[in-house]
């Protein structure tokens, strides 16, 4: 087990701090049980875990969309609760600082055209029109999405939708980017583009918090990896290479599995990372 | 078996209609004359044309307006065959049927014959009235179709702002438009999933149960999506009052076009 102090001693600028956070749906289906996490400015954090371990719930709590039943969540030293989000000033300030990219782009992209979707956030947050225009132009160049601007969202591929969902959050220029399964269902090239973009944003000082079970991207987008277990608790956390090399841990938490397959005439039996990129493990 | 075919035909029909609507937006994205105009100016000019078509009693004026409409079709890079097919299929033919009694109205006889002792007479006034009615329907319908083909659907919705429709209403309509496609896809996939598991030979009562369960399932999904979309809106700063992006620009070309339309309308009045 990793010692908490090892990580916390050298970290000063705390963005999020969760102390003993519990959450359950309808009061009877537990989703998070006693979560303790501290996330510092500029860090890259990954949350990994099998389906149903509470990763998405955790991210929604961080973004102030749902609130813990028990425990304390603070953002920049300010305790977050439902009441504080009723204050327009705080709410706007928080939304300017924290951006959330949903797992399902069809949820995030609710406007009829791509351009309307991208500018929705800054418009609601009261950004000046020329500032929105400048940021839009920059994003269009960075993500190469000029051709998509006037199109309807339903005409886009999943990769394009994901890019637009990211653009719709990046245009706000938040200090913290929260991403729920950002590479799910994407082809390798689009996955690479998104990972490069996240690394670039982190280099510019943004805090990146990603929930994923695509272990191939974890090392690049993580300073610290948290493993969520089926008991809705943190099983272990630590540096990416330590976690990813702990085969017993990953196997016990349904993140790798043992299987056998053939290479020419030889049969291999070895642990195998879940999801898309089977060839990487060979 | 028949009822299943009916459901299949209905689903396919609705999907085809919606796909056609998406396809039609392809014309709005083309670089033609009407597509280059500001949607507000375009709507005002088309309203002027339509009002003129409704008020005029001259068939020559109606022919002239229809000719302008077809000319606009050509310079807006819309296939003439596609446009005529789209505008002549239903409403004008329907108008033709309902106008038949009018050609027998009293007036100068052009053709007379006797059927079972009754005298039937087609009159010049009756024919003129019927022709004007059909031309009016065709012209107005063609103008409306041309407007919707050359304007992006959401731009049409946004133009409602010039009639003082609140932004939240426009936003809600836009979201409805956006999610109709998503739910149509869900319905299609659900139907295919049922077909792949139970085939088409379902008993009437069992079929009713399946349909009822699917309506309930769709309702549940839409509720869940509703919650998630609301969260996505909150996450990007929505606080109950919505702001809509306005990037309409009136340029010299728009002013010139509107001026030209007004002069034309005054000239033919």
Separation between Cα atoms, residue A123 and residue A129, nearest integer Å = 8
* Longest Cα–Cα distance in chain B: 79
| Residue B204 included in any domain | yes
pLDDT tier at B157, thresholds 50, 70, 90: confident
Domain A4-281 classified CATH 3.10.130.10?
A: no
Residues B231 and B179 both lie in one domain:
yes
Sign of CA dihedral A21, A26, A28, A29: negative
Residue A2 has pLDDT above 50, yes or no: no
Residue A278 has pLDDT above 60, yes or no: no
Q: Which helix (H) or strand (E) holds B45?
A: helix B39-55
Residue pLDDT, tens place only, A228-245: 999 999 999 999 989 998
Using the beta-carbon criterion (under 8 Å), do A112 and B154 form an inter-chain contact?
yes
Residues B49 and B22 both lie in one domain:
no
Average of pLDDT values for A185-207?
91
pLDDT tier at A31, thresholds 50, 70, 90: very high
SS (H, E, C) A165-178: HHHHHHCCCCCEEE
> What is the predicted pLDDT for the residue at A5?
43
Residue A164 has pLDDT above 80, yes or no: yes
B225 touches chain A (CB under 8 A): yes
Residue A92 has pLDDT above 60, yes or no: yes
Query: Which of A106, A119, A172 is most worth mutating to test chain B (most B CB atoms within 10 A of its CB)?
Result: A106
Average of pLDDT values for B17-34?
76
Report the residue from A112, A120, A132 with minimal CB separation from B236.
A120
Residue B45 has pLDDT above 80, yes or no: yes
The tokens of A63 are what? 């973004």
Contact A230, A52 (CB under 8 A): yes
Residues B83 and B189 both lie in one domain:
no
Residues B175 and B88 both lie in one domain:
no
Residues B143 and B38 both lie in one domain:
yes
Contact A111, B174 (CB under 8 A): yes
> Which region among A48-52, A264-268, B81-85, B164-168 has the lowest average model confidence (pLDDT)?
A264-268
> What is the predicted pLDDT for the residue at A259?
57
Residue A197 has pLDDT above 70, yes or no: yes
Average of pLDDT values for A214-234?
92
> What is the predicted pLDDT for the residue at A279?
38
Contact A243, A225 (CB under 8 A): yes
> What is the predicted pLDDT for the residue at B115?
78
Residue A275 has pLDDT above 50, yes or no: no
Residue A170 has pLDDT above 60, yes or no: yes
Residues B111 and B196 both lie in one domain:
no
| Residue B158 included in any domain | no
Query: In this predicted model, which residue has the larger pLDDT, A258 or A266?
Result: A266
Q: How many CB atoms lie within 10 A of CB B62?
A: 23
Residues B59 and B105 both lie in one domain:
yes
Distant-in-sequence, close-in-space partners of A2: CB < 8 Å, separation ≥ 6: A236, A237, A238, A242
| Residue B157 included in any domain | no
Using the beta-carbon criterion (under 8 Å), do B234 and A65 form an inter-chain contact?
yes
Instruction: Please state, in angstroms and as integers, the Cα–Cα distance from residue B83 to each residue in A204, B65, B96, B136, B141, following that order.
Output: 53, 16, 19, 17, 11
> What is the predicted pLDDT for the residue at A280?
41
Residue B137 CB-half CA count within 13 A: 18
Sign of CA dihedral B71, B75, B76, B78: positive
Distant-in-sequence, close-in-space partners of B54: CB < 8 Å, separation ≥ 6: B136, B140
pLDDT tier at A277, thresholds 50, 70, 90: very low
Residues B197 and B207 both lie in one domain:
yes
> What is the predicted pLDDT for the residue at A282?
37
Query: Which of A107, A109, A125 is most worth mutating to test chain B (most B CB atoms within 10 A of its CB)?
Result: A107
Residue A6 has pLDDT above 50, yes or no: no
pLDDT tier at B21, thresholds 50, 70, 90: low
Residues B186 and B57 both lie in one domain:
no
Residue pLDDT, tens place only, B56-68: 989 999 999 999 9
Report the residue from A88, A107, A151 with minimal CB separation from B232.
A107
> What is the predicted pLDDT for the residue at A185?
81
Sign of CA dihedral B43, B243, A138, A100: negative
Nearest chain B residue (CA) to A178: B235
pLDDT tier at B189, thresholds 50, 70, 90: confident
> Which region among A5-14, A200-209, B159-168 has the lowest average model confidence (pLDDT)?
A5-14
Query: In this predicted model, which residue has the larger pLDDT, A74 or B207?
Result: A74
Residues B232 and B147 both lie in one domain:
no
| Residue B159 included in any domain | no
Residue B164 has pLDDT above 60, yes or no: yes
Residue A153 has pLDDT above 50, yes or no: yes
pLDDT tier at B263, thresholds 50, 70, 90: very high
Nearest chain A residue (CA) to B156: A112
pLDDT tier at B261, thresholds 50, 70, 90: very high
Residue A270 has pLDDT above 60, yes or no: no
Separation between Cα atoms, residue A213 and residue A216, nearest integer Å = 9
Distant-in-sequence, close-in-space partners of B56: CB < 8 Å, separation ≥ 6: B62, B268
pLDDT tier at A20, thresholds 50, 70, 90: very high
> What is the predicted pLDDT for the residue at B211?
80
As a whole number, the mean pLDDT across chain A is 86
| Residue B156 included in any domain | no
- Residue-number span of the structural domain to which B169 is assigned: 1-28+164-238
Average of pLDDT values for A259-272?
61
> What is the predicted pLDDT for the residue at A137?
94
Number of domains chain B is built from? 2
Q: Could you tell me how many CB contacts below 8 A there are between chain A and chain B?
A: 95
pLDDT tier at B19, thresholds 50, 70, 90: low
Report the residue from B153, B154, B239 with minimal CB separation from A124.
B239
Residues B21 and B40 both lie in one domain:
no
User: Percentage of residues in chain A with pLDDT exceeding 90?
Assistant: 64
Closest by CA to A40, choosing from A74, A90, A83, is A74
Residues B5 and B109 both lie in one domain:
no
Report the residue from A109, A115, A152 with minimal CB separation from B25.
A152
| Residue B4 included in any domain | yes
């Amino acid at each position: 087990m990793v010692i908490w102090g090892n990580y916390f001693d050298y970290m000063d600028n705390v963005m999020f701090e969760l102390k003993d956070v519990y959450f359950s749906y309808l009061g009877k289906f537990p989703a998070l049980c006693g979560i303790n996490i501290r996330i510092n400015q500029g860090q890259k954090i990954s949350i990994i875990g099998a389906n149903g371990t509470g990763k998405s719930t955790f991210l929604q709590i961080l973004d102030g969309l749902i609130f813990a039943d028990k425990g304390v969540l603070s953002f920049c030293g300010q305790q977050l609760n439902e009441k504080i989000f009723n204050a327009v000033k705080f709410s706007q300030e928080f939304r300017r600082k924290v951006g959330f990219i949903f797992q399902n782009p069809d949820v995030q992209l609710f406007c009829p055209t791509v351009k309307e979707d991208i500018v929705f956030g800054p418009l609601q947050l009261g950004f000046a029109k020329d500032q929105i225009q400048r940021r839009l132009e920059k994003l269009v160049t960075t993500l190469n999405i000029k051709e998509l601007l006037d199109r309807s969202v339903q005409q886009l591929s999943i990769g394009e939708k994901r890019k637009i969902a990211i653009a719709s959050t990046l245009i706000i220029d938040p200090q913290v980017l929260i991403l729920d399964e950002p590479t799910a269902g994407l082809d390798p090239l689009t996955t690479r583009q998104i990972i490069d973009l996240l690394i670039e944003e982190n280099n510019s000082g943004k805090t990146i918090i990603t929930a994923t079970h695509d272990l191939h991207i974890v090392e690049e987008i993580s300073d610290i990896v948290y493993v969520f277990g089926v008991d809705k608790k943190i099983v272990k956390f630590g540096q990416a290479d330590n976690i990813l090399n702990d085969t017993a841990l990953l196997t016990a938490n349904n993140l790798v599995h043992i299987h056998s397959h053939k290479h020419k005439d030889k049969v291999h039996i070895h642990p195998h990372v879940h999801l898309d990129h089977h060839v990487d493990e060979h | 078996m028949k009822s299943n075919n009916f459901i299949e035909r209905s689903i396919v029909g609705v999907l085809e209609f919606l796909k056609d609507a998406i396809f039609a937006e392809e014309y709005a994205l083309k670089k033609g004359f009407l597509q280059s105009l500001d949607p507000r100016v375009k709507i005002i000019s088309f309203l002027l044309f339509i009002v003129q078509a409704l008020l005029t009693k001259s068939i020559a004026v109606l022919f002239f307006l229809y000719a302008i409409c077809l000319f606009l079709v050509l310079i807006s890079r819309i296939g003439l065959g596609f446009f005529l097919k789209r505008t002549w299929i239903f409403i004008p033919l329907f108008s033709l049927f309902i106008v038949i009694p009018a050609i027998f109205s009293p007036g100068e006889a052009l053709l007379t014959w006797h059927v079972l002792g009754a005298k039937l007479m087609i009159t010049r006034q009756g024919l003129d009235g019927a022709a004007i009615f059909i031309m009016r329907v065709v012209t107005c319908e063609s103008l409306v179709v041309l407007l919707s083909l050359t304007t992006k659907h959401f731009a049409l919705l946004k133009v409602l702002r010039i009639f003082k429709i609140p932004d939240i209403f426009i936003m809600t309509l836009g979201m409805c438009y956006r999610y109709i496609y998503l739910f149509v896809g869900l319905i299609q996939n659900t139907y295919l999933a049922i077909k792949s598991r139970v085939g088409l030979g379902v008993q009437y009562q069992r079929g009713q149960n399946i349909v009822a369960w699917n309506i309930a399932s769709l309702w549940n999904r839409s509720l869940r999506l509703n919650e998630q979309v609301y969260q996505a809106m909150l996450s990007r700063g929505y606080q109950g009052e919505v702001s809509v992006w306005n990037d309409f620009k009136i340029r010299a070309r728009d002013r010139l076009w509107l001026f030209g339309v007004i002069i034309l309308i005054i000239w033919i009045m």
